[in-house]
């Protein structure tokens, strides 16, 4: 459990919640935010892509199922463009103020979803990311891991450009519509990131109950206060 004194040590930390579709990361990010705020720790929650006016416009382009002609390099660069805006407008000012930033997805997603597409390498992705995020990498990235058949079964249609549209919530977004084989590769790419950087990554077994996963998140957060 994260106590009050330990929570104070989290000020100015940047934490990412990431993983495949339907892994429960958004629920867990919300639980951590509520816990920290209850202890008086200021928190900035953001979602990637998005979180800014420009970022939300980019998000709509990226997730629109009609944009299946988009090349993988274009896709990667759009994600990075959204992050560049979010870093300048939201994340860096919040960290400077001593807030805890909790991001729902980040560069780790691109290293899982776009890696290998159109020959993209991890080195290329990280090189672009360095520019987009001004070399401010997360202090901790939590990867919520689930077997792909389980994660895909949890996904509910949610894409819409217009929330008031009668068809809102009826379509899977452009990424969710991809094949099981693709999502298996995404899972593998996430786990490879953890192996490559065990100091700044942790795997969370997302198959457990919401409360059990929350406790695992709190335990993983201990590494930031050591």
Instruction: Answer for the pair 161, 56: CB distance below 8 angstroms, yes or no.
Output: no
Instruction: Answer for the pair 89, 58: CB distance below 8 angstroms, yes or no.
Output: no
Please tell me the number of Cα atoms within 13 Å of 77 on its side-chain side. Answer: 6
Based on its alpha-carbon atoms, the radius of gyration of the chain, rounded to whole angstroms, reads 17
- Give the tokens for residue 29: 């990010």
User: Exposed/middle/buried for 179, CB within 10 Å: 0-12, 13-18, 19+?
Assistant: exposed
What pLDDT score does 7 carry?
52
Q: Which residues of the chain have pLDDT under 50?
A: 1, 3-6, 158-163, 165-170
d(CA 45, CA 94): 10
Instruction: Answer for the pair 115, 122: CB distance below 8 angstroms, yes or no.
Output: yes
Phi, psi of 88 (to 5 degrees): -70, -45
Q: Which residues contact 191 (CB under 8 A, 6 or more apart)?
A: 143, 145, 203
Question: What CATH number does residue 161 fall under?
Answer: 3.40.50.300
- Domain, as residue range, for 175: 4-224
- Give the tokens for residue 179: 């094949």
Stated pTM of the model: 0.86
What pLDDT score does 166 carry?
46
Closest CA to 129 of 106, 98, 103, 155: 106
What pLDDT score does 148 carry?
80
- What single DSSP character describes residue 166? T
What kind and span of H or E run contains 132? helix 122-132
Our count of domains for the chain comes to: 1
Q: Strand order of the sheet with strand 100-104?
A: 43-47, 100-104, 14-19, 140-145, 201-205
């Amino acid at each position: 459990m994260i106590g009050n004194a330990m929570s104070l040590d989290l000020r100015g930390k940047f934490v990412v919640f990431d993983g495949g579709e339907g892994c429960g990361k958004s629920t867990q990010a919300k639980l951590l935010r509520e816990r920290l705020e209850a202890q008086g720790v200021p928190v900035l929650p953001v979602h990637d892509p998005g979180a800014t006016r420009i970022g939300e416009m980019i998000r709509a382009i990226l997730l629109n199922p009609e944009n299946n002609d988009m090349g993988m390099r274009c896709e990667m660069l759009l994600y990075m463009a959204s992050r560049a805006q979010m870093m300048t407008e939201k994340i860096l000012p919040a960290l400077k103020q001593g807030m805890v930033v909790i991001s729902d997805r980040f560069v780790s997603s691109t290293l899982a979803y776009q890696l290998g597409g159109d020959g993209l390498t991890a080195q290329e992705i990280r090189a672009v990311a360095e520019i987009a995020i001004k070399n401010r990498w997360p202090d901790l990235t939590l990867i919520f891991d689930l077997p792909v058949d389980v994660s895909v079964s949890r996904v509910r249609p949610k894409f819409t450009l217009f929330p008031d549209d009668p068809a809102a919530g009826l379509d899977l977004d452009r990424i969710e519509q991809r094949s099981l084989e693709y999502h298996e590769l995404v899972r593998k790419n996430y786990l490879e990131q953890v192996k490559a950087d065990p100091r700044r990554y942790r795997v969370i077994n997302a198959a457990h109950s919401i409360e059990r996963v929350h406790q695992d998140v709190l335990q993983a957060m201990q590494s930031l206060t050591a």
